[in-house]
Amino acid sequence: MAEVHTMTALLDVHVPSKRFGDRRVLDNFSLTLEAGEIVSLVGASGCGKSTLLRIVAGLDREHDGTVTLKGQPQHGVSRDIGVIFQEPRLLPWLTVAQNVGFDADAARARDPHVFTLLEEVGLSQVADALPKALSGGMAQRVAIARGLFNRPPLLLLDEPFSAVDAFTRIRLQELLLAIAREHDTTLLLVTHDVDEAAWLSDRVIVMGGGRVLDEVTITEQRPRSRRSPALTEARNRILEILEGAHVL
């Protein structure tokens, strides 16, 4: 007889309401992520995507919602949740390796794990360089390595590639996917790029007015061709939902 397993989701978020002054930014927002999923959030500027990510990251606690990771209610920032922002936010006086291991004490910036991560993102040659010597794409790769330093089961990314050129962006998407697989990391990614969302994700959540409008599931196997008809279909469906909500 088959055993019955009760699956606990990796992440459960429910925010009945989040306000900035009189303005209600999140309105009955709920999201559940299973371990290993890659999920994107798309929606118009100002619809509450970054606010939601900051709540999940524990960076904003002024709300009446709950964030549960592996069944544990979260209260504030946690090493189990990594965050990558739009800009790399490196400390200019620290070397690349020190920036990656920054969360540890100074001695652990020499941690072999730092060098493994730098190798994975293709930056072992510049471990001792200062951030000012890096291109935008390289700096964002440092931020990816830093986001993975604590081996978080969940990595949040807020428009991580929007400041780099189109070719670098494609390479970083491939790198992110490979690394997420290698480290068993679940990804929750905010992006304005509907093609990026479709290519990377298992599910795309379309937000509007602080709530979930709809979601699109993408079952296409990986590795995925960027020209696959299934991805075109997913992208069109996302655009249709946004248009239906008069966001486009």
Binding site for ligand ATP (CB under 6 A): 20, 25, 43, 45-51
Q: How far is the CB of 43 from ligand ATP (least distance, A)?
A: 6
Which of these segments, 46-54, 61-69, 91-99, 143-151, binds Mg ion (CB under 5 A)? 46-54
40 counts as binding Mg ion under rule CB under 5 A: no
For residue 138, what are the CA distances in angstroms to 30, 78, 122, 169, 239? 35, 26, 9, 11, 31
Residue from 18, 31, 48, 50 touching Mg ion (CB under 5 A): that is 50
157 burial level (CB within 10 Å; 0-12, 13-18, 19+): buried
The residue among 26 and 176 lying less far from ligand ATP, judged by its C-beta, is 26
Own/partner pairs for 170-177, CB < 8 Å, 24+ apart? 170/226, 171/137, 172/137, 172/140, 172/141, 172/144, 173/199, 173/200, 175/121, 175/122, 175/141, 175/144, 176/144, 176/200, 177/38, 177/222
For 2, what's the count of Cα atoms within 13 Å in the CB-facing half-sphere?
3
User: Which residue is it, tokens 């992440």?
Assistant: 11
In the list Mg ion, ligand ATP, none, the entry touching 48 (Cβ below 5 to 8 angstroms by class) is ligand ATP
Distances (CA, A) of 204 to 39, 61, 94, 103, 244: 6, 25, 36, 31, 16
Supply the minimum distance, in Å, between the C-beta of residue 218 and ligand ATP: 21
Shortest Cβ distance from residue 197 to ligand ATP (Å)? 13
Of 29 and 149, nearer to ligand ATP (C-beta) is 29
Q: Binding segment for Mg ion among 6-14, 50-58, 94-102, 205-213 (CB under 5 A)? A: 50-58
Nearer to ligand ATP (CB atom), residue 98 or residue 191? 191
Q: Which does 146 bind (CB under 5 to 8 A by kind): ligand ATP, Mg ion, none?
A: none
Nearer to Mg ion, 50 or 74 (CB): 50
Fill in the DSSP letter of residue 131. G
CA-derived radius of gyration, the chain: 18
C-beta of 44 vs 170, nearer to Mg ion: 44
**Residue 247 CB, nearest approach to ligand ATP (Å):** 11
DSSP annotation of 4:
P
Residue number with CB closer to ligand ATP (55 or 142): 55
25's contact among ligand ATP, Mg ion, none, with CB below 5 to 8 A by partner kind, is ligand ATP
Residues that bind Mg ion (CB under 5 A): 50
